[in-house]
Structure 1
Amino acid sequence: MQVHSLYVYPVKSLAGIQVSSFCIDDFGPAGDRRWMIVDVDRQFVSQRNNPELARIGTRLEAGRVLVNIPGEGEFPLIAGDEDCRVRIWGDWAKAVYGDHDASEALSRYCGATFRFVFMPDESFRRVDASRVTEYRRVSFADGFPFLITSLASLEELNSRLETPVEMRRFRPNIVVEGAAPWDEDEWRALSINGTAFSLVKPCSRCVMTTVDPDHGTKAPDLQPLRELGKFRRTPDGVIFGMNAIHESSGEIRVGSPVAITTTAKTENQ
């Protein structure tokens, strides 16, 4: 098995970037979801209610994040010095507001008052303590630093769909090839290019998987979520992929070998 593809998402719920490699820092993939969008109540905003966000492109240049907002142009995201506390799911996290120009353009595009916010290094949001006992941090990702998926599982799902979907619908960080479909359900630990990962929770999927990433619209038949619900429904929800934490820093690349070190079976022996 090896790494098929890698993705980073500089801004939560905006378009991701496919990359050939990424470094891993304390948060996870370097720069992943350190930016987020909030409403006037400082609650996070996502494609769940605003599917048009999928059409906002992101780009990295000289250490900066730039966003391309349809009809508005491209803007650098610049962290200001105004602190705030923002809510993501059940967590309140320390952040700083971004500059006004990008936020005002975003608000015009979405037809609502939104702000970009940045998570600074001194902010600490804890990974789900019910799944990870260690005091580990996560950025503005939903709950864990990494989402790992399998190419074979997507291909098997697509064999059931009238219209195949791309892996972009599932917003992974690491896509593995060379495994059998759904083998990842049993993985508990793996190593990629010397970096160890613990797979701590199946990833329950939501309506975001029904958003067309090119057009920013939801599929009227709610595929592929509806099809997954027919055969991938578990106590953790309708699942696709595995949430993971990293045990060290490092760098991984497309083509890096993937070694499974612990499975559910060996863990229970």
Structure 2
Amino acid sequence: MSIAISGLYIYPIKSCGGIALQRSAIGMAGLHNDRRWMVVDEQGVFLTQRSHPAMARIRTDLRDGYLVVTAPGQPRLDIPIDVVEDDDSVRRRVKVWRDEVDAVDEGDLAAQWFGALLGTPCRLVKVHPQSQRVASVARIENWLARHPVAADFPRQHIFAFADGYPILVTNEASLAELNDKLAAKGQPAVGMDRFRPNVVLSEFGAFDEDYTVLVTVGEIRMALVKPCVRCEIPNTDQLTGARAAEPMTTLTTFRSQPEGGVTFGMNAIVSAPQGAMISVGDRAEVLLDF
């Protein structure tokens, strides 16, 4: 079955504004520069829109060798993208969910910028090049055992600061079904940005991603290994940071899972050759397992 890649997005700083791409390098760690930076509190624990919805108002760009960060009422912040991290004085341990990993502190100016916006002491960190954060090996091995067609996938997938897996895949038709249900309740439609995907599919049946084993684009293969359980972030307007009850209230009515949680989208792991690129408009073959 052939479908299309209709969107590619990265979020350079975890839980901050994303960047729509036409083309991206892709590998085991996901799309290049996705969730490479993260905001942490004084104890090194990650901060997200869950507790700080104002992070949605932070815009990011990658320009002329810099991560450019802007927000209403704040001066522009420019962070060099590629600096050799050979100074142990800026290396620190940080925590994202249950994982403790090495990171590089981006300095006092960045800390002051984010602290002023969020109203709490915090630091901006970048994933250390020697960081070894690995997606759940047990879950991946279990999934691969049940899907022999993907048996040659690596068991260990090292990635940066995404929640649990290198790639999040969503489907335009699934969003359309959700928006139909919102419209029936007199609620406004929501955009795909509420779900913060990396790869968006089109020409695909609503929620067929739930039953997809592989999405293949040339030599790039994405194995959809785990449904994405949602928190309150989809209720956060990604332009203003305002939070409401939708769309999670409506999603709960038809996407609640017997094992718990409300799902939208699929977490994926990647097998791709060195230097692989993926583009909006690429055709993809999908393998379904109904």
Q: TM class, shorter-chain normalised?
A: over 0.9
Q: Secondary structure of 1:130's partner?
A: helix
**Residues 1:258 and 2:284 are matched in the alignment:** yes
Corresponding position of 2:64: 62
Q: Secondary structure of 1:212's partner?
A: coil
Q: Distance in 2 between matches of 1:26 and 1:98?
A: 25
Q: 2:190 aligns with which of 165, 170, 178?
A: 165
When structure 1 is superposed on structure 2, of 62-71 and 111-120 the one drifting more is 62-71
Corresponding position of 2:163: 142
Structure 2 unmatched runs, 5+: 142-154
The one-letter code sitting in structure 1 at the alignment partner of 2:226 is K
Question: How far apart are residue 62 of structure 1 and its match?
Answer: 2.4
Is 1:189–1:196's contact at 8 Å kept on the other side of the alignment? yes
The one-letter code sitting in structure 1 at the alignment partner of 2:124 is F
Q: Secondary structure of 2:46's partner?
A: coil
- Specify which structure has the higher proportion of helix: 2
Corresponding position of 1:10: 12
The one-letter code sitting in structure 2 at the alignment partner of 1:86 is V
Q: Distance in 2 between matches of 1:63 and 1:150?
A: 32
Corresponding position of 1:118: 126
Q: What's the TM-score, normalizing by structure 1?
A: 0.94
Is 2:169–2:267's contact at 8 Å kept on the other side of the alignment? yes
Q: 2:264 aligns with which of 221, 229, 240?
A: 240
User: Deviations along 1:2-39, whole A, 9 cap, x unmatched?
Assistant: 01111011000000001111101342101110100000
Structure 1 unmatched runs, 5+: none
Structure 1 residue ranges, 4+ long, deviating more than 2 angstroms after superposition: 77-81
- Aligned-residue RMSD, C-alpha: 1.3
Q: Distance in 2 between matches of 1:62 and 1:140?
A: 23
When structure 1 is superposed on structure 2, of 200-209 and 125-134 the one drifting more is 125-134
Is 1:158–1:164's contact at 8 Å kept on the other side of the alignment? yes
Corresponding position of 1:31: 33
The one-letter code sitting in structure 2 at the alignment partner of 1:185 is D
User: Deviations along 1:73-122, whole A, 9 cap, x unmatched?
Assistant: 11122467411000000110111100221220110111100100010221
Question: How far apart are residue 148 of structure 1 and its match?
Answer: 0.5
Q: What's the TM-score, normalizing by structure 2?
A: 0.87
The one-letter code sitting in structure 2 at the alignment partner of 1:179 is F
- Specify which structure has the higher proportion of strand: 1
The one-letter code sitting in structure 1 at the alignment partner of 2:261 is G
